[in-house]
Amino acid sequence: MDELVLASLDSSVFDVDNLIENIAYKSTDGNVINENFDPSLLESKFRHAMSILQDYQVQTDQNIKHLEELCEKERNTWANSVAQLEELYQSTYTGQQELEMRISVISTKVIQIGHQLESKSNPRQQLIDARTTAKYLERFLDANDDVSLMFQDASKLEQAAHIIHQLYNVLQELPDEPKFIDAKTKVKERYLAIEEELLLEFSRAQVRNDKKAMKKYIKLLSKFKGHNDCIQNFITDCLKGYFDNPNIDIFNSIPQLFTKVSELINEIFDQPEKVTERLIITVYTEKLAPYVRDQLDPYVRNPDLDNMEKYLQTLYTLSKKATKLSNDLQTQKISDDPAFLHKLNQHVFKTYLKTYSKYEINCLEEKFQVHLERVESTGGQRRIKPTGLSITDIIQQRLLNTTDQVDESRFSPDLAAALLNDCKTAMNRITTLSEGLEAAENILQCFLRLLNALGNQHIETELQYSLQAIPGPEPKQEPDIRFFHAILQTNNSIQLIERYFVMDIAPLLLGTQQQAVLLQTKEKVFGQLEDLINIGIDKALLCIIGFVRNILNEQKRSDFKPESDLFISECSPICKRVVRSIDNQIVRLEQTADGKNLTSIFNEFGLRFHRLITDHVFKFEYNISGGLMMLQDISEYKKCSKKFRSSTVEQLFSILHALVNLLVVVPDNLRQVITEGHLASLTRDIIESFVQLRTDYKSARLHAMITTDQ
């Protein structure tokens, strides 16, 4: 029993219910329902188990108390240690502050002493230099003294450079009198000779990569006029042979060159920023500009469409690479002027950017015309040039050249995609190669060309052609209206243009004058297309309704006044043909239109169909059998009306069904029927107009039943 209880306590999860079950099972050997079951034995076992648990609890409490005492002791020990460390840190920090104050005081005194020493030393050095200069000036003024030998010692070149510089400056202040002319000439000769020797020594030091010597000679040359020549010679030597390989990528090589040379420039020149700027200017003007010219000029000399596209794409690629190059160099702090590299880029591409807009717009127009001609040339039909011809002339000419109805392939979704792709390519180039108002104007012109090519030259022309191909208002055969396909293609193209405008064009023109111009033009083009679509829908529905009218006209007056009573169980054959024709047109519409356009067309179609059926009902007089026949037809038309997906059309047919039902209502029930359902809201004139169609209208005195109140 003890082992069982202790095993339960040692487990990871102590389960009281499980322990009780185990104790009960062990105590009774599993025979709880046996007649010999002894509850006192089970009670003693449970009490023993409880005593074990209580002992274990006492032991556990003692262990916890002991551990808490140990933790408290450890905490006190570490708290004392932390307090001692804080006291030590505070003492150290105070000592550091005192040392820093003493160092600051001493540094200030050292600087003051240095300034005092310098103020005493500089005048003395200036006096020594003036005395030395006066000594050599006296010798140059002596016509009999040959002073050339004293500057020929190469080991004293630095001293000679200092002296000749001083002499040259002094003599520049003296007047051009005869007694000074000879001395000025000699000094100038020595000045130029020493300057040339310094340049030569600098070049030699650069060849052997002697940075210390280079720095010494550039410092000496800083006092001479040849200092700029020295810098230019340094740059020329750095560039020598670096770009001679024709396969080298110049845009990657320039940053590599700068990384290679910048450390040397910073080490030997007192003003490295100026030297670096001059290096970059030399690279851009003497290396990058000729490279760009070699890449672009061959295309300009032969400006056909293919070469113009290559020219524009090459210019775009080179400009992007140059911009990336400038951004990479700018991160290395080449110049304090943030526009320095941008100005160099503008200088390199200045000639080409002046004519870029003209080339871009002309190239886009030519590409659009090529795409339009390719679409027109499919199936052997060549595009008629618009020169001297209106859209109507083009439509008539095309209709004369073919006996087919409108070919769906003439509406080319591939054309819209191709034109948009060309326009996007041009827009990418414009945003890179144009800036400010010029960029906005170029974007406007490109999008106007897209609207003209896709909207006017393609969609409007094809809509006009599709419109002309719609049969007349009284066709003898069921019309296959392909104009609905033209509507679908037009809507798809308009959505492509609108999506492109909203996502890509509008953000670029936000807040500009060009935005208003573009919106106005776009709405005008879309409005013209919408007008054509409305005209086409009207003409198509006239055609469809005209064909249905021809079917209905086959019904005769005698059909609705049969001499004998007939059993009417279904609609007439004419009704079946009408419904079948309407169903066919609805299927075609569902395949070629969607969204709001489909809803609008269905609604108008349903209204015209209802008007046609209503007019058809009023053509005849009806006896009871004829009225039942018409009621069956109207029931079928009512079912058909649900396919128009218009609540208005459905309600109109429901009302029509209720009105036609008046043709078969027993006269005694007529007064009650007209006050129920849909008829309750109609005027008595409308109700009577239908009741008058009954053959028993006069004989049964139905007028009195309608007009007399109950």
User: What is the dihedral sign for C-alpha 506, 512, 518, 520?
Assistant: positive
pLDDT at 206: 76
Instruction: Single out the residue of 166, 175, 179 nearest to residue 134, CA to CA.
Output: 166
pLDDT tens figures, 414-466: 888 899 999 999 999 999 898 889 999 999 999 999 999 999 888 898 888 88
Could you tell me which residue, 194 or 673, shows the higher pLDDT? Answer: 673
pLDDT at 170: 63
pLDDT band at 401 (very low <50, low <70, confident <90, very high): very low
Could you tell me which residue, 539 or 375, shows the higher pLDDT? Answer: 539
pLDDT at 605: 93
pLDDT at 134: 60
pLDDT tens figures, 54-102: 888 888 889 999 999 999 999 999 999 999 999 999 999 999 999 989 8
**Axis-axis angle for helices 391-401, 461-468 (nearest 10):** 50
> Among 316-330, 561-575, 673-687, where is mean pLDDT lowest?
561-575
pLDDT band at 382 (very low <50, low <70, confident <90, very high): very low
3-state DSSP assignment of residue 477: coil
Best mean pLDDT range from 144-148, 181-185, 230-234, 675-679: 675-679
**Axis-axis angle for helices 157-173, 39-141 (nearest 10):** 60
pLDDT at 334: 72
User: Half-sphere exposure of residue 265, counting CA atoms within 13 Å on the CB side?
Assistant: 24
- 651-689: b (≥16 Cβ within 10 Å) or e: ebbebbbbbbbbbbbeeeebbebbeeeebeeeeeeebbe
CB neighbours (10 Å) of residue 62? 10
Stretch 278-284: mean pLDDT, rounded? Answer: 87
Distance CA 354, CA 676 (A): 81
3-state DSSP assignment of residue 694: strand
In single-letter form, the type of residue at position 330 comes to Q
pLDDT at 257: 82
pLDDT tens figures, 233-280: 777 877 776 777 777 788 888 888 887 788 778 777 877 788 888 888
pLDDT at 671: 85
pLDDT at 226: 65
pLDDT at 67: 93
pLDDT at 37: 66
Q: With a cut of 90, say whether residue 576 has pLDDT above it.
A: yes
pLDDT band at 553 (very low <50, low <70, confident <90, very high): very high
The two tokens of residue 496 are 């492509």
Average pLDDT, the chain: 81
- How far is C-alpha 503 from the chain's CA centre? 7
Stretch 183-190: mean pLDDT, rounded? Answer: 67
Alpha-helical runs (H) found in 208-287 = 211-221, 227-239, 250-268, 272-283
pLDDT tens figures, 485-517: 888 888 888 889 999 999 999 999 998 999 999
Stretch 139-164: mean pLDDT, rounded? Answer: 58
- 590-626: b (≥16 Cβ within 10 Å) or e: eebbeeebbeebbbbbbbbbbebbbebbeebebbbbb
pLDDT band at 147 (very low <50, low <70, confident <90, very high): low
Stretch 190-218: mean pLDDT, rounded? Answer: 75
Stretch 144-158: mean pLDDT, rounded? Answer: 57
pLDDT at 445: 93
pLDDT at 19: 74
Distance CA 638, CA 78 (A): 95
Q: What is the dihedral of CA 607, 612, 615, 619, to 10 degrees?
A: -160
3-state DSSP assignment of residue 248: coil
CATH of domain 555-707: 1.20.58
The two tokens of residue 124 are 């003395």
pLDDT band at 585 (very low <50, low <70, confident <90, very high): very high
In this prediction the pTM is 0.66
What are the φ and ψ backbone dihedral angles of 32, each rounded to 5 degrees? -75, -30
> Among 103-112, 191-200, 400-409, 632-641, where is mean pLDDT lowest?
400-409
